Structure 1
Amino acid sequence: MAGETILVTGATGNIGRVVVEELLAAGFSVRAAGRTPESVTRIFGNRVESVGLDFTDQSTWASTFDGVHRMFLMRPPHLGKPKTQMIPALEYARDHGVTHMVFLSLQGAEKNKAVPHAAIEAWLRGSGVTWTYVRASFFHQNLTTTHLTDIRDRDRILVPAGRGATAFVDGVDVGAVAAAALLDPGKHGNAALTVTGSEALTYDQVAGILTAELGRPITYSRPGIFRYLRHSRKVLGMPWGMALVTAAIYTTARMGLAGGLTDTVHHVLGREPVSFAEFARRERDKWIPNLQS
């Protein structure tokens, strides 16, 4: 019922922010968890209850999980070993009253046991809580965050996806679907919702869209896994865990397994998903070097 407090983990991220805003608009109170309460308050002010959560630090669990029954769960990218780094916290949450968890998972996680999302999905299935997997395809926003500097400063996309097509999706759409699952557990409980956009694009096509939008040539390099890992570590500064997970995701695309499309956005939200061209137009300033902050 409206007025109930719902927990959103990863509240300061691209998806978490959308989930928070959707829940607030629906009239619910939100307990928003980030690395520190201050990081959450900087974004949302006093509109939410701000808490700091570290899945690996039990001293943060009570203030985060106690007193809530529904939660949005996002795996922090640097936590690559969920069985030891996350599941103990989730067991605490379940044992202290959380009955429905909406988990931001990954398209194809049920077939790709190399990604940590698969272990969390497996735990949820046997946990006794009501669960919803929001299996997102590749986020548009990865090109304005993880790969921002490659595009903005080096005019290139460097990922080991080969010529495979990827079903991109906008974070706004994913967050809205996750919020819908939180708001109606009866409709979306114990269900896997694969959320994609309406088109699967190769990275050559993505580079072409960016070239047209930015008015300068953006190229797509097709590195092998080892070159990508070296680049992600030394140039992009990724932790090893994140570098390996992203390499696995791009390998799925390279193998032709990442292009599947769904109509989940239309079915759940009643509208069409945001296209990559629309996203590029909306976010174009982020890729312009002289506008960087």
Structure 2
Amino acid sequence: MGTILVLGGTGMFGTALAECLRKTGTDYVLGVPTRQTLCEMQDQGHRAVLADFERPETLESALCGIEGLFLRTPLVPDIANWTVRAITAARRAGVRFIVRASGCGVEAEGSCGMTRLHGALDAAVRESGIPCCLVRSAPLMQDYATHYAPMIRDTGRIFLPMGMAATALVDARDVAEGLCRILATPEGSLGRSFMFTGPYALDNVEIAVILSEIVGRRIAYVPVDDATAEYAMVRAGMAHWTIDLQHGLNAAIRSGAATQVTPDLAAILQRQPTDFRTFANAYRQAWEPAYA
């Protein structure tokens, strides 16, 4: 097995994948966009090279001698061009396979902008001529311990525009482990698509009950409308094009698009994926008040 280039994944998700690859002894290198990030990753013990989506020559250099590419394009306005640049560089470098991290319920003719966007990017990978595996995943449990954590911790409320729809939330650590197994032994996965979900779907009322039991104080779910959600996203500094995509995704979730539970992740991990209560116990400090 040759070297895997992990491209576009230096945050929480990419770091978890890199740790899994390191533990399994898989030869990998992280592609990072800046010299500062390069030094940070090297300081953490990872092999890293400069690979900037906005500078195609760095992609070609990073992919030289690489056998497999893990591709997770950042959500930026130019995401389509960035993805095509990576695919083109991989083809020129003779990369043998691509594993792409995609989105939930994505189709090129999907019901919302986010699903259509990821569906088009998946199609570009499939049409590249390079053997590939597409891995789609449900929304992450970690959203509740990161993006939503200050709201939950400071107000005791979960304000989200998701109605009463249930979501088959998945633990990012399980997704990383599943991707690691595919990358380490890709032969049986190429030409296939997987949908990674948690073991069951939960609505936000049920999530609030679990969090209440774990932190020892009442957490409540308060459904909000899109206008209220948009106000919060604008105050948080989100770009308008991202907000538009998020509105579409929230509408898809409200319609039940994220309720499906699949056996794909369990089959690859050879165990049941992490349930939300187990996840929440591991992350409980995210919701505990600073004075506790």
TM-score by length of 1: 0.90
Over 3 Å counting, the alpha-carbon distance change for 1:273 and 1:93 in structure 2 is same
- Residue in 2 aligned with 1:192? 193
- Residue in 1 aligned with 2:105? 108
Structure 1, unmatched stretches of 5+, are: none
Distance in 2 separating the partners of 1:253 and 1:157: 16
- Residue in 2 aligned with 1:76? 74
Query: SS in structure 2 opposite 1:42?
Result: helix
- Residue in 1 aligned with 2:162? 161
Over 3 Å counting, the alpha-carbon distance change for 1:94 and 1:64 in structure 2 is same
Over 3 Å counting, the alpha-carbon distance change for 1:238 and 1:152 in structure 2 is farther
Over 3 Å counting, the alpha-carbon distance change for 1:52 and 1:221 in structure 2 is farther
Over 3 Å counting, the alpha-carbon distance change for 1:252 and 1:113 in structure 2 is closer
Over 3 Å counting, the alpha-carbon distance change for 1:220 and 1:73 in structure 2 is same
- Residue in 2 aligned with 1:8? 6
Distance in 2 separating the partners of 1:240 and 1:52: 30
- Residue in 1 aligned with 2:93? 96
Q: Deviations over 1:47-82 (max 9, x none)?
A: 4321243312324323432221211111213x1443
Over 3 Å counting, the alpha-carbon distance change for 1:189 and 1:225 in structure 2 is same
Give how far 1:288 is off.
2.1
CA contact (8 A) 1:37 1:50 kept: no
Over 3 Å counting, the alpha-carbon distance change for 1:200 and 1:20 in structure 2 is same
Over 3 Å counting, the alpha-carbon distance change for 1:171 and 1:191 in structure 2 is same
Over 3 Å counting, the alpha-carbon distance change for 1:45 and 1:29 in structure 2 is farther
Query: SS in structure 2 opposite 1:158?
Result: strand
- Residue in 1 aligned with 2:261? 261
Give how far 1:41 is off.
4.5
Aligned length: 288
Q: Deviations over 1:230-282 (max 9, x none)?
A: 21121x33233433333222211101121000111221111111111111100
**In the alignment, structure 1 residue 272 sits paired with structure 2 residue 248:** no
Over 3 Å counting, the alpha-carbon distance change for 1:32 and 1:258 in structure 2 is same
Question: What is the letter of the counterpart of residue 283 of structure 1?
Answer: Y
CA contact (8 A) 2:7 2:72 kept: yes
**In the alignment, structure 1 residue 64 sits paired with structure 2 residue 65:** no
Structure 2, unmatched stretches of 5+, are: none
- Residue in 2 aligned with 1:27? 25
Residue pairs, 1:226-237, within 5 angstroms: 226-234=227-235, 236-237=236-237
Distance in 2 separating the partners of 1:249 and 1:89: 26
Distance in 2 separating the partners of 1:158 and 1:53: 38
Distance in 2 separating the partners of 1:30 and 1:291: 42
Give how far 1:10 is off.
3.3
Percent identity between matched residues is 29
- Residue in 1 aligned with 2:240? 240
The Cα RMSD (Å) is: 2.1
Q: Deviations over 1:195-215 (max 9, x none)?
A: 011110011111111121112
Over 3 Å counting, the alpha-carbon distance change for 1:43 and 1:258 in structure 2 is same
Distance in 2 separating the partners of 1:45 and 1:5: 20
Higher strand proportion: 1
Distance in 2 separating the partners of 1:183 and 1:258: 28
2:84 to 83, 87, 107: 87
Over 3 Å counting, the alpha-carbon distance change for 1:104 and 1:291 in structure 2 is farther
Give how far 1:112 is off.
4.2
